[in-house]
């Protein structure tokens, strides 16, 4: 899996609809890729803050904002790491 593959699946990850088998690949890539870790940590923190003890159901508008925000974050962290495995 490459960083760009991760980016393609981030929406599913945010929405909680990611396939479990893909999720395993996802985690494997994360373990060895710092720029991706930074982005995903950001997402997890944001979701945790939002959840605040409530069921995991993000409103469409919030998801849209999160998708946009994580892409901006992605560009920051991957600006010099385009060729990372």
Contacting positions for Zn ion (CB under 5 A): 3, 33, 36
Neighbours of 23 (CB within 10 A): 13
* Contact by Cβ (8 Å): 33, 3: yes
Minimum CB distance to Zn ion smaller for 3 or for 66 = 3
Smallest separation (angstroms) from Zn ion to the CB of 25: 12
Residues 67 and 76: their CA atoms lie apart, in Å, by 14
Residues 68 and 84: their CA atoms lie apart, in Å, by 22
Smallest separation (angstroms) from Zn ion to the CB of 41: 13
What lies within 8 Å, CB to CB, of 81 at 6+ separation is: 3, 35
Smallest separation (angstroms) from Zn ion to the CB of 76: 13
């Amino acid at each position: 899996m490459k960083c760009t593959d991760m980016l393609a699946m981030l929406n599913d990850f945010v929405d909680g609809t990611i396939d479990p088998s893909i999720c395993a690949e996802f985690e494997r890539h994360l373990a060895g890729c710092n720029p991706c870790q930074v982005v995903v940590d950001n997402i997890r923190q944001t979701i945790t803050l939002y959840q605040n003890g409530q069921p995991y159901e993000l409103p469409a508008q919030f998801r849209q904002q999160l998708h946009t925000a994580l892409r901006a974050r992605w560009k920051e962290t991957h600006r010099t790491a385009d060729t990372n495995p």
